[in-house]
Amino acid sequence: MDMKFLLILTLITAASAQKCRGTFFNNKYYNMEVLKEGLNRVKQMIYSSKENSVYFIYDQGGILYNGGAGYYNLNNHQAGFFMGIRNATSLAVDNNKNRIYIGCAEGLYAVTDGNLPERFPISEPILSLYYKDDLYFTNIRRKVYKFDLDGVKLVPEMRYDFADNIIVDDDNNLFFLKDKKVNRVKLDTGAPAFEVTEFPVNLMTMDVDGKLYVATNDGIYLYNRYKYALDKISNLKNVKALSFDKKWDPIYVVFDLLVRLKNPVECYEDNDAFFK
């Protein structure tokens, strides 16, 4: 049996129950649409609402890391990649300015109209990026900085801490992935960080409402800001990248497939039983 067909069948049956058809995600059942095949070794993905496109970092292969930055337009289904960016590592989006930031071994690039990368005045290797009013990034030493009109400044709350990946929410919380564990610190308070997860996490992402999701080997979890805890919302496994479009539909990469969950079905079951 074809491996990709077996994978898709496994995902559908694992996320379905006897009474409801479809892929279960956050209290809804969705139809699954494979958008594109052949996305090898994807490491991160973001969504641009102005372009209605997803942008992703992928490993082009070789003995040494050779990261590239690509995109897929959800309107016309065209895909492409950015030339001239060596060892791309991370992405961030400023939807107000319709600008995509790309971090790489040589520093920072920005992409606006025409998908032409433009060099920004940061020349050190960048590990991760996130845009929330200002641009936040981590360097190769895993230190967290903010880049604004006043220049580059170390985030005070992270002076003695380290991060592999970062996200800032609407409540001025900085979530950061350190050694595969999610931590949270309140910015502009001087308060210490504390650990959110005791189990390993593969990636973090946010939807258009500013809700935090994490993917693990066991499934997808949603951060509950009222309980300061994570609630499991899907059994989807092997997810390499996760984002959400402007309709709140999940888009993710599993193995080398770009998948979108769309057209949620009106169906209700015992969700506690689903996760058993």
Task: Output the pLDDT for position 267.
Answer: 74
With cut-offs at 50, 70 and 90, classify the pLDDT of residue 1.
Answer: very low
Task: Output the pLDDT for position 224.
Answer: 92
Q: For residue range 250-264, what is the model confidence (pLDDT) as tens digits?
A: 999 999 999 999 988
Task: For residue 98, give the nearest of 112, 87, 84 by alpha carbon.
Answer: 112
pLDDT at residue 269 tops 50:
yes
Q: Which long-range contacts (CB under 8 A, 24 or more apart) does 199-202 make?
A: 201/177, 202/239, 202/240
Task: Output the pLDDT for position 16.
Answer: 44
Task: Output the pLDDT for position 276.
Answer: 55
| C-alpha distance from residue 135 to each of 57, 92, 181, 222 (Å) | 18, 8, 23, 24
Average pLDDT over residues 228-244: 94
Q: For residue range 121-130, what is the model confidence (pLDDT) as tens digits?
A: 888 999 999 9
Domains of the chain: 3-274 (2.130.10.10)
Distance CA 153, CA 174 (A): 15
Instruction: Identify the sign of the CA torsion 271, 34, 244, 177.
Output: positive
In this structure, what DSSP letter does residue 9 have?
H
Q: 161 and 193 in contact (C-beta within 8 Å)?
A: yes
pLDDT at residue 270 tops 60:
no
Task: Output the pLDDT for position 212.
Answer: 96
Q: For residue range 16-45, what is the model confidence (pLDDT) as tens digits?
A: 444 677 899 999 999 999 999 998 889 999
Please tell me the least confidently modeled range out of 2-16, 60-74, 237-251: 2-16
What predicted TM-score, i.e. pTM, was given to this entire model?
0.88
Task: Output the pLDDT for position 141.
Answer: 95
Q: For residue range 179-213, what is the model confidence (pLDDT) as tens digits?
A: 999 999 999 998 889 999 889 999 999 998 899 99
Distance CA 23, CA 137 (A): 34
Dihedral, CA of residue 49, residue 51, residue 53 and residue 57, to nearest 10 = -100
Mean pLDDT of the chain: 88
pLDDT at residue 216 tops 70:
yes
User: 């996320």: which residue's tokens?
Assistant: 15
Task: Output the pLDDT for position 220.
Answer: 97
Q: Which residue has the higher pLDDT, 72 or 63?
A: 72
Task: Output the pLDDT for position 15.
Answer: 43
pLDDT at residue 273 tops 70:
no
Task: Output the pLDDT for position 9.
Answer: 46
Instruction: Identify the sign of the CA torsion 35, 39, 45, 51.
Output: negative
pLDDT at residue 107 tops 90:
yes
Tokens of 97: 């300015």
With cut-offs at 50, 70 and 90, classify the pLDDT of residue 275.
Answer: low
Most confident among 111-125, 129-143, 254-268 (mean pLDDT): 129-143
Provide the β-strand partners of residue 195. Answer: 183
